[in-house]
Structure 1
Amino acid sequence: MRLCTMNIDGREDVGIAHGDGIVPLSTLTPLSPKPLGATLLDVVAGAQLDAIKEALDRLETRTDLVRTADVDFGPVYRNPPKLWGVGLNYRAHADDLQVEQPAGSPGSYLRPASCVIGDGDEIVLPTQSERVTAEAELGVVIGRTCRDVRPEDAHTVVFGYTTVLDMTAEDAIRLNPRFIPWAKAFDTFCSLGPWIVTPDEVGELSSVRISTVVNGRTIATNQVSAMMRDPHWQVAHFSGGMTLEAGSIIATGTPGAGVIRDGDVVEAVVERVGTLRNAVRQARV
């Protein structure tokens, strides 16, 4: 199943890809055997996929379908309970930053929900940085509140996958790596969506290719199989001794980043999951 957050007549609704269009969740609610949440976070945290599937089976007409091309997408949701990021999980990206890839496990950081935007929103370059980079990543969406998950059991707590476009004030972390949380936390510095795709539709995860594209040019690309630590290992790592609430998102690392400037258009492309596209604007003093 493919799910999104969509804006309709000034309000947000959940969208479910169906046939050649998208069904608003509000259309399915009267057909559901149980109440359906108003937001995509409600759907994830409430384990509502089975109820949605049942309601889709009862849908007798496609007159309420919205054409995908006409959809105004929002972020999958604006307040992930936790938003973890993984750094230096690909050797090539460590080379980009002229640093040594960590041994044993990649770097990590926790970022605030205030940095979240969605497909089509503007990335605003802050005046506090002279070198901002953007990087494509695969995002893992946690579907069940969990703790101390083993890597071999991680698939049981994964709701699905999304596309992440992650920005960094790179000049700050080149100055001092301890500035990573600050360098990642500016408003508009994390784009999420437009889709969450369930594992059955994504298929074999290791072959999924992730690409960072700036102004139509692919800056970096690689597959999940090239990660130092795979997404299931990361679920185990971040749930070790720590609760991961349903709806939490782990951005699993990038094959490489590109410098972005005022007027650029940057994309994160994750095969079988989705493409995020954001324009770039310099903040005015």
Structure 2
Amino acid sequence: MRLCTLTVDGREDVGIAVDGGIVRLGVLAELTGTTLGPTLLDVVVGDQLGSIRAALADPEARAKALLSAEPAFAPIYRHPPKLWGVGLNFRGHAADLDVEQPVGTPGSYLRPSSCVIGHGDEIVLPVQSERVTAEAELGVVIGRTCRDVAPEDAPSVIFGYTTILDMTAEDAIRVNPRYIPWSKAFDTFCSLGPWVVTPDEVGDLSSIRITTVVNGETIATNQVSAMMRDPYWQVAHFSGGMTLDAGSVLSTGTPGAGVIQDGDVVEAVVEGIGTLRNTVRRADR
């Protein structure tokens, strides 16, 4: 199943991709007399996929719930319970920063939900940084609250996968790597969406290609198989001794970052998952 969050008449609703378009979950729930959503986070936390499939089986309700306009995407949701970022998980990205590749485990950081935006929103370059980079990443959406998950059991707690654009005030971490949490936490510095795709539609996870694109130019591209630590390992690592709440998102690392400037268009392309696009604007001083 492919799910998204839409903005319709100033309100957000969950969208479900079907043959012929996108079904609005709020309308489908009303027509079928079911309690679904109302947000995509509720769908994840409430394990609602089975109920959604049952509601979609009503052909009349499904047809009436189809979105009648072009979709206006919002972030998959605005307040992930945890938003983990993974750094230097592809060897080429260490070269971007002129640093040594970590040995054993990649870098990591938590970031606030205030940095979340969605497809089509503006990335605002803060006055505190003169060099901001953007990087495409595969996102893992946790579907069940868990702790101490073994790598081989990670698929059982994953709801689905999404596309992420991760921004960094790179000049800050070149001064001191300990500034990473600050350099990642500016408003608009994490774009999520537009789709969450359930694992049954993904196929071979290791073959998925992740590509960073700036103004139509491919900056970096590589497959999940080239990661130092794969997504299942990451779920195990970050759940070790720490609860991962349902709805948490892991951003699993980038093949490479591109410098972005005022007026740029930046994209994250994750094969089979989606294309996430944002424009760039310099903040008013």
Give the deviation of 1:32 after TM superposition. Answer: 5.2
The match for 2:23 is: 23
Structure 1 distance, partners of 2:189, 2:59, is: 39
1:106 corresponds to which residue?
106
Aligned to 1:196: 196
SS of aligned partner of 1:161: strand
Asked if structure 1 preserves the Cα contact closer than 8 Å seen for 2:94 and 2:101, the reply is: yes
Conservation of the 8 A alpha-carbon contact between 1:31 and 1:58: no
8 Å CA contact 2:25, 2:65 repeated in 1: no
CA displacement 1:214-256 (0-9 Å, x = unmatched): 0000000000000000000000000000000000000000000
Alignment of 1:178 onto 2:178: yes
Q: For residue 264 of structure 1, what is the aligned residue in structure 2?
A: 264
Contact 1:23 1:64 (C-alpha < 8 Å) held by counterparts: yes
Letter in 2 for 1:2: R
Structure 1 residues 87-126: aligned runs within 5 Å: 87-126=87-126
1:20 Cα deviation after fit: 2.1
- The 5 A counterparts of 1:190-269 are 190-269=190-269
TM-score (norm 2): 0.98
The answer for the alignment partner of 1:39 in structure 2 is 39
1:33 is displaced (CA, Å) by: 7.5
**Identity over aligned residues, as a percent?**
75
The alpha-carbon distance between structure 1 residues 20 and 158, as it changes in their structure 2 partners (threshold 3 A), is same
Q: Residues 168-220 of structure 1: CA distance to partner in whole angstroms, max 9, x if unpaired?
A: 00000000000000000000000000000000111110000000000000000
Distance in 2, Cα, partners of 1:56 & 1:239: 34
Contact 1:28 1:59 in 2 (8 A): no
Say which is worse superposed, 58-67 or 20-29, in terms of deviation. 58-67
Q: Which residue of 2 aligns with 1:155?
A: 155
Q: Distance in 2 between matches of 1:147 and 1:35?
A: 29
Tell me if structure 2 keeps the 8 A contact 1:31–1:55: no
What is the match of residue 141 of structure 2? 141
- 1:155 alignment partner AA: P
Shift of 1:31: 5.4
TM-score normalised to structure 1 length: 0.98
In structure 1, the partner of 2:48 is 48
1:163, distance to aligned residue in structure 2 (A): 0.2
CA-based RMSD of the aligned residues comes to 1.1
> Hey, what's the Cα distance between the residues in 1 that align with 2:38 and 2:182?
33
The CA distance in 1 between the partners of 2:171 and 2:77, in whole Å, is 29
Partner of 1:64: 65
Q: CA deviation at 1:54?
A: 0.3
Distance in 2 (CA, whole Å) between partners of 1:146 and 1:34 is: 28
Q: Which amino acid aligns with 1:166?
A: D
Task: Tell me the distance in 2 between the aligned counterparts of 1:180 and 1:64.
Answer: 44
Structure 2 unmatched ranges of 5 or more: none
Q: CA deviation at 1:64?
A: 3.2
The 3 A distance-change label for structure 1 pair 115 and 11 is: same
Cα distance in 2, alignment partners of residues 212 and 13 from structure 1: 28
Structure 1 segments of 4 or more deviating over 4 A? 31-34
Instruction: Kindly tell me the number of residue pairs found equivalent between the two proteins.
Output: 284
